[in-house]
């Protein structure tokens, strides 16, 4: 499972702290270095890691001890706080407030957009919603058939035209098509793109403008490394990002790139992809996630003191 | 007489004017370089190993006083990186294909989900045709939705034929048919497009082993995504263990990726990188050049 290693490493760093007799500057620095290593091995952006660990170290060395709390406990608290700050807080879901709710999915080539859309469509269908899908990928051969075949077993309709070259037109027409059909949710798929493809980034902005989605979902490959931060930033600058789906967490993915994308966009992770099948989608709960990451079973009692 | 004295004097000055490179010198210089490599997506494990290597090479070495020690460390790092980036054996794919007496030359493409296998096959088909070679593609990804339509459309655009079965069919049988077709028609090269797979999925890895075992490709190419971070090490290792990887194509280098993945893969499996993907067009396939890669990793291009 992704981030398992990060969890293990963080946990052992904190245990080291709990074991040492005196907590002096040297010990604090060592623990901070361990945390730094753990985050970097998990693909969290190097600059973010430096910022984060600098903050932890500074607070650990400078903050006054609250009464009744040992220095060790205090440091564990700081680490916990800084990490939850970094990883996001409450579990959030994609809200379906209006009928129809329009969602637009964007992301880098091959990140898993089309697969994730099929997963989302099925997820909402299971909860009683009527869903329509729009393919605006005029770039990748077979994109329309891919989406269609993914949802065929569930009788979910896909709007698209493999011959059409104008993605913005497809988006506009697809959304009005499903509006007339009175569906509850419209999810729009888009071609993969990255920050250096300025024309495609502009196209994405125009699609978003044309259909005015309730939420733009950024799909991030769980195996992405240092590029995650800058790429996510470029997407956010073109169109506001409302949520993140992290995919491919069933392999050796470290997931840290997705965390960088959270920081870059300010958008929460709402779902994770854990396989290729349409059922392989899980809602994301940051609190549960952080607990697991820190092996909070061990230090839960301690945290209750605060 | 006088000459001898001067000689002695000189060697004395030389001795005094020497200094040793200390561990601290090396650490100081490595500190920043380390961050730079990590930022370029060189896997943590690889960076650690490079550091150790540089240390054991340099600590204790005697240099003249006044030498820029930092420069020495930097040069050593650059050399070590270039070492990993430089393939032990270069494969000239066109020559290899031409020198095979019995047609066809079979290439299987494997890799993690969405890394760029199918697109790379289309690019390579285009490249081979430009070199006067005939090509047929085996649509052996019978698993992923839209995979067959995708490879067919690509093939149509670059003007090569696809051998396909239907979805759910045995990928090995498709590849087998394509090889037979090539034999019968005297086609030079068969490119096998396989489904993307997660390296921890036992069943899918076994399926890939079977394709390779039965079709005995002349070349197994691992297609890796240059945007990937530390996970690429495990991917490359697992794929290499399952089916020996002969060569690598690294994709999506146009996405501002610094290309540390090249170093990670080289370190993990040692297979040479043959091509890099630099875009979604059919001409966006470049022959690999380690000097170019080196500059990219150190952010100089
Ligand atoms: N193992 C695994 N594979 C996944 C997951 N999500 C998607 N994939 C696979 O990743 C590959 C790419 O997925 P797509 O949905 O085509 O990605 P995309 O972002 O739409 O790609 P483009 O449209 O080309 O940009 C496919 O092989 C999918 O089956 C996941 O959670 N786990
Ligand atoms: N920018 C860029 N995009 C690329 C490159 N190579 C492939 N792509 C894109 O990446 C996406 C996935 O490529 P595919 O060729 O479908 O990848 P795959 O490995 O066959 O995917 P699966 O079969 O689903 O595992 C497509 O949108 C391609 O256009 C590249 O070098 N640069
Ligand atoms: Mg897609
Ligand atoms: Mg493919």
- Residues B2-30 have a mean pLDDT of 75
Q: Is the model more confident about B272 or about A302?
A: B272
d(CA A134, CA A132): 7
Last residue of a domain, one of B62, B85, B108: B85
Same domain, B154 and B229: yes
Q: Which two tokens stand for residue A197?
A: 């493809």
CB contact under 8 A, A142 and B256: no
Same domain, B183 and B113: yes
Q: What is the DSSP track for chain B?
A: -HHHHHHHHHHHHHHHTEEEPPHHHHHHHHHHHHHHHHHTT--HHHHHHHHHHHHHHHTT-EEETT--HHHHHHHHHHHHHHHHHS-SS---HHHHHHH-SSSPEEEEEE-STTSSHHHHHHHHHHHHHHTT--EEEEE---SSTTHHHHHHHHHHHHT-EEE---TTS-HHHHHHHHHHHHHHHT-SEEEEE-----TT-HHHHHHHHHHHHHH--SEEEEEEETTB-THHHHHHHHHHHHS---EEEEE-GGGS---HHHHHHHHHH-PPEEEEE-SSSTT-EEE--HHHHHHHHTT--
Q: What pLDDT, on a 0 to 100 scale, did the predictor assign at position A141?
A: 97
Last residue of a domain, one of B26, B59, B85: B85
Does B9 map to a domain? yes
Domain residues for the domain of B217 are 93-288
Q: What is the ipTM of this complex?
A: 0.94
Same domain, B224 and B276: yes
Last residue of a domain, one of B85, B120, B137: B85
Does B57 map to a domain? yes
Q: What pLDDT, on a 0 to 100 scale, did the predictor assign at position A306?
A: 55
A174 lines ligand 1 (CB under 6 A): no
β-pairing verdict for B189-193 and B105-110: parallel
d(CA B222, CA B215): 16
CB contact under 8 A, A254 and B258: no
Supply the DSSP symbol for A263. H
HSE at residue A34, side-chain half, CA atoms within 13 A, is 19
User: pLDDT tens-digit profile of A61-111?
Assistant: 898 888 888 877 788 788 778 877 877 767 888 999 899 999 999 999 999
In percent, the amount of chain B with pLDDT more than 90 equals 82
User: pLDDT tens-digit profile of A27-72?
Assistant: 889 889 988 998 899 899 999 999 999 999 999 889 888 888 887 7
Cα A175 to middle of ligand 1, angstroms: 24
Which among B111, B112, B113, B239 is the best mutation to test ligand 1's pocket, defined by most ligand atoms within 8 Å of the CB?
B113
Domains of chain B: total: 2
Instruction: Verify cis geometry, omega within 30 degrees of 0, for the bond prior to B104.
Output: yes
Same domain, B103 and B60: no
A245 strand-pairing partners = A219, A271
Give the residues surrounding ligand 2 with Cβ less than 6 Å away: A 109-110, 140, 192, 194; B 111, 113-119, 141, 144, 147, 195-196, 223, 251-252, 254-255, 277-280, 284
Written as tens digits, the pLDDT of chain A (306 aa) is 456 667 777 778 777 777 777 778 888 898 899 889 988 998 999 999 999 999 999 998 898 888 888 877 788 788 778 877 877 767 888 999 899 999 999 999 999 999 999 999 999 999 999 999 999 999 999 999 999 999 999 999 999 999 999 999 999 999 999 999 999 999 999 999 999 999 999 999 999 999 999 999 999 999 999 999 999 999 999 999 999 999 999 988 888 898 899 999 999 999 999 999 999 999 988 776 766 666 555 555 555 655
CB contact under 8 A, B255 and A252: no
Cα A114 to middle of ligand 1, angstroms: 7
The pTM of this model reads 0.94
A193 lines ligand 1 (CB under 6 A): no
Does B18 map to a domain? yes
Does B169 map to a domain? yes
Same domain, B253 and B116: yes
Q: Is the dihedral of CA A253, A256, A258, A261 positive or negative?
A: negative
Show residues of chain A in contact with B148, CB under 8 Å.
142
Same domain, B32 and B104: no
């Amino acid at each position: 499972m992704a981030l398992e290693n990060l969890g293990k490493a963080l946990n052992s760093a904190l245990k080291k702290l709990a074991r040492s007799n005196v907590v002096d500057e040297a010990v604090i620095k060592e623990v901070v270095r361990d945390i730094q290593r753990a985050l970097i091995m998990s693909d969290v952006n190097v600059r973010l890691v430096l910022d984060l660990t600098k903050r932890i170290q500074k607070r650990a060395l400078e903050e006054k001890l609250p009464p009744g709390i040992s220095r060790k406990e205090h440091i564990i608290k700081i680490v916990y706080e800084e990490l939850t700050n970094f990883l996001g807080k409450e579990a959030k879901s994609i809200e379906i407030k209006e009928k129809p709710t329009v969602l637009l999915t964007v992301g880098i080539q091959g990140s898993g957009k089309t697969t994730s859309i099929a997963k989302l469509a099925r997820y909402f269908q299971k909860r009683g919603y009527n869903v329509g899908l729009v393919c605006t990928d005029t770039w990748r051969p077979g994109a329309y058939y891919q989406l269609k075949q993914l949802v065929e077993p569930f009788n979910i309709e896909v709007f698209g035209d493999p011959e059409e070259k104008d993605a913005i037109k497809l988006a506009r027409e697809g959304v009005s098509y499903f509006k007339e059909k009175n569906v509850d949710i419209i999810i729009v798929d888009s071609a993969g793109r990255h920050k250096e493809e300025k024309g495609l980034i502009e196209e994405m902005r125009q699609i978003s403008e044309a259909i005015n989605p309730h939420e733009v979902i950024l799909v991030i490959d769980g195996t992405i490394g240092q590029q995650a931060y800058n790429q996510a930033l470029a997407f956010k600058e073109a169109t506001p990002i409302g949520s993140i789906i992290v995919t491919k967490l069933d392999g050796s993915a470290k997931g840290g790139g997705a965390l960088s994308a959270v920081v870059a966009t300010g958008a929460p992770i709402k779902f994770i992809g854990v396989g290729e099948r349409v059922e392989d989608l899980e809602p994301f709960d940051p609190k549960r996630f952080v607990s697991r990451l820190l092996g909070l079973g061990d230090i839960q009692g301690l945290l209750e003191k605060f | 007489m006088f000459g001898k004295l001067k000689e002695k004097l000189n060697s004395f000055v030389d001795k005094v004017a020497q200094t040793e490179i200390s561990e601290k010198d090396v650490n100081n210089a490595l500190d920043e370089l380390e961050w730079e490599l990590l930022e370029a997506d060189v896997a943590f494990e690889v960076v650690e190993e490079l550091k150790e290597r540089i240390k054991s090479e340099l600590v204790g070495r005697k240099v003249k006083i006044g030498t820029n020690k930092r420069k020495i460390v930097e040069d050593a790092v650059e050399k070590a990186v270039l070492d990993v980036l430089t393939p032990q054996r270069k494969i000239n794919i066109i020559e290899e294909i031409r020198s095979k007496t019995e047609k066809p030359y079979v290439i299987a493409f494997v890799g993690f989900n969405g890394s760029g296998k199918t697109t790379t096959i289309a690019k390579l088909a285009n490249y081979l045709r430009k070199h006067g070679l005939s090509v047929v593609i085996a649509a052996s990804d019978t698993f992923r939705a839209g995979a067959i339509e995708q490879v067919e459309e690509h093939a149509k655009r670059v003007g090569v034929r696809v051998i396909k079965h239907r979805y759910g069919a045995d990928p090995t049988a498709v590849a087998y048919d394509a090889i037979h077709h090539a034999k019968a028609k005297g086609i030079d090269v068969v490119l096998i497009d396989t489904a993307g797979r997660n390296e921890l999925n036992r069943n899918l890895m076994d399926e890939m082993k079977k394709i390779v075992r039965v079709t005995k490709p002349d070349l197994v190419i691992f297609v890796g995504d240059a945007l990937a971070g530390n996970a690429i090490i495990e991917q490359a290792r697992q794929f290499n263990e399952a089916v020996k990887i002969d060569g690598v194509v690294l994709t999506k280098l146009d996405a501002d990726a610094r290309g540390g993945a090249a170093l990670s893969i080289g370190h993990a499996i040692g297979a040479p990188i043959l091509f890099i993907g630099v875009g979604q067009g059919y001409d966006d396939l470049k022959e690999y050049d380690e000097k170019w890669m080196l500059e990219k990793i150190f952010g100089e291009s």
